[in-house]
Every structure is written in structure tokens, then in C-alpha cells.
Amino acid sequence: MYVSSIKLVNYRNYDCTSVEFDKNINIIYGKNAQGKTNLLESIYLFSAGKSHRTNKDRELIHFNKDYANIQMFFTNKDGEKSGEMILSHNQKKRIKINGVPIKKIGELMGFFIAVLFSPEDLNLVKEGPVHRRRFLDICISQIRPAYFFHLQQYMKVLEQRNNLIKRIYEKDSLMDTLSVWDQKLVEHGSRIMYYRISFIENIKKIAKAIHSSITKEAEILEIEYVPCFNIKNVKSISDVEEEFYRQLKKWNSKEIKNGITLIGPHRDDISFLINGTSVRNYGSQGQQRTVVLSLKMAEMEFIKENIGEYPVLLLDDIMSELDSSRQSYILGKMEDKQVIITCTDVERFKGFCDAKYFKVEKGNIQKGGI
Ligand SMILES: Nc1ncnc2c1ncn2[C@@H]1O[C@H](COP(=O)(O)OP(=O)(O)OP(=O)(O)O)[C@@H](O)[C@H]1O
Ligand SMILES: [Mg+2]
């Protein structure tokens, strides 16, 4: 899969810019605050349906402009495709694939897939579980659109169930209506958890092998799913459903007292262990970075196994944060896929004669070597 070109109109600090990419290696360089990340973000929009930096679409529109338009041409194994996104202040964003408007963001999933690796991804290991759930949600949605559907339904049910629980505290008689929401919560929540179990089972093996290779066998990476309740030896969705119901019963009075849903995949987490020790609590900066690197590389391989082609790899200024052996590892993995890399120090890439270079300056992009 590769992006052939993108045109940005009123997007972030770009007025009107077009870029034609190389099918393999693209190096986007420039000083700080010139628009390098903005460019990667605009490509990533077609993969996740939203920015990796904000949930507010209006932030993507150039200051003082009414709308932004992004047009991208890309090729996947089914052929050439186009994507268009129109953002405006007073309307929901509009998306077209091959000129046809899509009704729901879920319909976008799977057309174009990019794996983005940026410095903020360290949050995956260092910060709270919300970052890890977001990682799961984006990865799984891209290859399993049904997951995205259940996730959206689950979030709606969760909100409604929480509203009801708050009211039950004041009015006991509403308790009878809770079972309707319990049923929907279990239906969508169990499917989300079932997908997560299978995804983590797969990706942990790939990440372990990659991590071992990067660290020259010095470190063993273990990734474990930490669901909000214990579910061992799950063979089917109904195993998860049964346990989910059991847990809801167990926590019922506490939920009413706290006025919130305490059980469900919105409380899930993942743990990362190196040689048996928690990376979040004890890992060095370098180890944490390497875990994220292993995970992103594993994500890329996993997508390839599932859809039969590599996603586009977007690397946002990560080279400067990695030591030379880790940099070499990434640089050695650039064949047979499209990679779009941003950096401030372009000298680092001097050996890459075949790469296409772009200089970004104040929202202008110029093609050119170094
Ligand atoms: N909606 C917007 N309208 C206009 N300019 C914006 C908007 N959003 C962000 N910017 C500007 O875009 C500029 C470039 O941002 P970007 O994050 O792409 O920089 P960068 O080249 O990646 O820099 P760095 O090397 O520091 O990461 C910033 O100075 C920011 O103020
Ligand atoms: Mg940047």
C-alpha cells in the first residue's frame, strides 16, 4: 500500500500544497514548527479517521479559514484509490472514498492503513491505560471493521447506563430497567474483549521476536492482556459473556453507590514486562522506547499477515531518540514498503541515495536532495 500524492488546502499551517511521494522511502526535513508533523497527520487521518494529536477536527483548519480540504491518492492491493476529507467549523467532517461520500467513519476503516510512530507513542508504556486502549482500538478497527462497530455501540451504551445508574441512586424503582442496558453492555463489551484477546495473543509473539532481535537476545518482552476481570481459557464469546454477567452482579451495589459502570472493556489494560519486570514502573527510557518500537513493528507485520500487504509506515522524528543499533534496525526494515520519515537533522540519512527528499519551510514543501 502506498500514498502517491496528497493535496492540502487550508490544513493546519498549509495554504495550498501538493506533494508527490516515492513508493519507497520519503524523507521530510526542516526546522522545528515548519509543518512536518502536520503533513504526516494529514495522511494518518485517512487511516484512523481522526488526528493522532487531537479529537477536535476544527483545530486542523488553518487559523482564520472556514474550511480545510485534504485530497489523497493512494494504491492498495485492489488498485488506485482516492480519499477526500472536508472539514468545516459548522458541519461534521465529510469524507469521500473514490468520490463516494461515506456515511459513517467505520466505512473508512481498512481502505488505507498507516502505522504511525511518533515521540508521543512513549505514552503507550509510560502513561495511563487510556493510551493502551486507544492503541488496541485503532489497530483492531483497521483490520476488523466489526470491532469498530461494537466499540461505538459500547461507548453509547456505557454512557446511557452510567446516566441510569446515577438516577437509580435517587430512585430505586428504576432498577428494573437496568437489565436492558446490562444486556447491551455485555453483548458489545464481550465482543470487544474477545477481539482484544485474539489480537494480543497474535501481536505478543511477533513483538517478542522483534524485541529479542533488537536487543540481541538480551531482553525477553512479554505482553499481557489485563482485562478488568479475570477471564482465563476463553474459547468463545459466550465464555466472556457469562463471566461479564457474573461480574456485573458482583459489582452491582458498588456501581450504584459510585454512580458509574465499574466493569467492562473501558477498564482494560495491557502490561509490558522485560525479563519479568514491569517496563512502566522500572524500565529505562531506552527500554521503554524499544518496547514501543517492537510493538509498532509488530503491528506492521500483523497487518501484513492479515491483509496481505504492508501498511504505510509514518515515522515522526523518532530517529534522534533511538541509539544507533535501534536506528539501524528500523533503517534495515524499509524495503518493500512505503516509509515517510520526518526529521530535523537530514544528514543522518545521507546514505539513502534512493530516497525522495522534501524540505518543509513555513508550510511550503519543496522537493529536493540534500
Ligand atoms: N490550525 C492551524 N492553523 C495554522 N497553523 C497551525 C495550525 N495548527 C498548528 N499550526 C502551526 O503549525 C506549525 C507547524 O507544526 P508541526 O507540528 O507540523 O511542526 P514540525 O515541523 O513537526 O516541528 P517539530 O520539528 O518541532 O516537530 C506550528 O508552528 C503551529 O503553530
Ligand atoms: Mg513535529
CB 283 within 8 A of CB 291: yes
Compute CA 327 distance to the chain's CA centroid, rounded to the nearest angstrom: 22
23 within a domain of the structure (yes/no): yes
Mutate to test the pocket of ligand 1, among 9, 13, 316 (most ligand atoms within 8 A of CB): 13
Compute CA 203 distance to the chain's CA centroid, rounded to the nearest angstrom: 14
Q: What is the Cα–Cα distance from 120 to 35, expressed in whole angstroms? A: 17
CA atoms within 13 A on the CB side of 298: 27
| All cell numbers assigned to 121 | 507513542
> How remote is the CA of residue 8 from the centroid of ligand 1, in Å?
14
**Same-domain status, 32 and 136:** no
Ligand 1 contacts CB of residue 299 (under 6 A): no
**Same-domain status, 98 and 134:** no
Q: Which atom of ligand 1 is nearest to the CA of 61?
A: 1
133 within a domain of the structure (yes/no): yes
Q: Strands 339-343 and 25-29, how do they pair?
A: parallel
Ligand 1 contacts CB of residue 317 (under 6 A): yes
Residue 200 Cα distances to 53, 203, 208, 272, angstroms: 25, 5, 12, 12
Residue 326 Cα distances to 194, 222, 322, 330, angstroms: 34, 19, 6, 6
* Tens-digit pLDDT profile for residues 40-64: 999 999 999 999 999 999 999 999 8
Alpha carbon nearest to ligand 1 atom 5, residue = 13
**Same-domain status, 136 and 273:** yes
**Same-domain status, 66 and 193:** no
* CATH code for the domain in which residue 242 is found: 1.20.1050.90
160 within a domain of the structure (yes/no): yes
- Look at residues 264, 351, 343, 309 and name the one whose alpha carbon lies nearest to residue 74: 309
Give the angle subtended at the CA of 235 by the CAs of 234 and 240, to the nearest 5°: 50
Q: CA Rg, the chain, in Å?
A: 22
pLDDT of residue 370: 63
262 within a domain of the structure (yes/no): yes
| Sequential DSSP letters for 152-183 | HHHHHHHHHHHHHHHHHHH-GGGGGGHHHHHH
Mutate to test the pocket of ligand 1, among 10, 17, 27, 34 (most ligand atoms within 8 A of CB): 34
**Same-domain status, 136 and 227:** yes
Alpha carbon nearest to ligand 1 atom 26, residue = 32
| Sequential DSSP letters for 281-326 | HH--HHHHHHHHHHHHHHHHHHHHHHHSSPPEEEEES-GGGS-HHH
Q: Which atom of ligand 1 is nearest to the CA of 38?
A: 18
Boundary (domain end) residue, out of 286, 308, 330 = 308
Boundary (domain end) residue, out of 308, 327, 353 = 308
**Same-domain status, 166 and 272:** yes
Q: What is the Cα–Cα distance from 204 to 199, expressed in whole angstroms? A: 8
Rounded to 10 degrees, the C-alpha dihedral 194/195/201/207 comes to -150
Q: Which atom of ligand 1 is nearest to the CA of 62?
A: 3
Check pLDDT > 90 for residue 242: yes
Ligand nearest to the CA of 118: 2
**Same-domain status, 259 and 178:** yes
118 within a domain of the structure (yes/no): no
Q: What is the Cα–Cα distance from 260 to 178, expressed in whole angstroms? A: 13
**Same-domain status, 181 and 280:** yes
Alpha carbon nearest to ligand 1 atom 7, residue = 12
User: Which residues form the domain of 325?
Assistant: 1-113+311-370
158 within a domain of the structure (yes/no): yes
* Tens-digit pLDDT profile for residues 145-174: 999 999 999 999 999 999 999 988 888 888
Check pLDDT > 80 for residue 80: yes
169 within a domain of the structure (yes/no): yes
Ligand nearest to the CA of 42: 1
* Tens-digit pLDDT profile for residues 328-348: 888 888 889 999 999 998 888
Ligand 1 contacts CB of residue 32 (under 6 A): yes
pLDDT of residue 350: 76
Alpha carbon nearest to ligand 1 atom 27, residue = 32
* Tens-digit pLDDT profile for residues 275-310: 999 999 999 999 999 999 999 999 999 999 999 999
Strand partners, 83: 72, 97
Ligand 1 contacts CB of residue 142 (under 6 A): no
**Same-domain status, 278 and 364:** no
> What phi and psi, each to the nearest 5 degrees, are found at residue 90?
-110, 10
> How remote is the CA of residue 54 from the centroid of ligand 1, in Å?
13
Please give the average per-residue pLDDT across 91-113, as a whole number: 93
Mutate to test the pocket of ligand 1, among 31, 37, 58, 70 (most ligand atoms within 8 A of CB): 37
* CATH code for the domain in which residue 28 is found: 3.40.50.300
> How remote is the CA of residue 51 from the centroid of ligand 1, in Å?
14
Give the pLDDT band of residue 106 (cuts 50, 70, 90).
confident
Q: What is the Cα–Cα distance from 202 to 223, expressed in whole angstroms? A: 10
Strand partners, 97: 83, 100
Number of domains, the chain = 2
CA atoms within 13 A on the CB side of 65: 20
74 within a domain of the structure (yes/no): yes
Ligand nearest to the CA of 60: 1
Check pLDDT > 80 for residue 270: yes
Largest alpha-carbon pair distance within the chain?
A: 73
Ligand 1 contacts CB of residue 33 (under 6 A): yes
**Same-domain status, 272 and 298:** yes
Boundary (domain end) residue, out of 308, 326, 352 = 308
pLDDT of residue 144: 93
**Same-domain status, 156 and 97:** no
CB 168 within 8 A of CB 216: no
**Same-domain status, 155 and 228:** yes
Alpha carbon nearest to ligand 1 atom 31, residue = 33
pLDDT of residue 369: 62
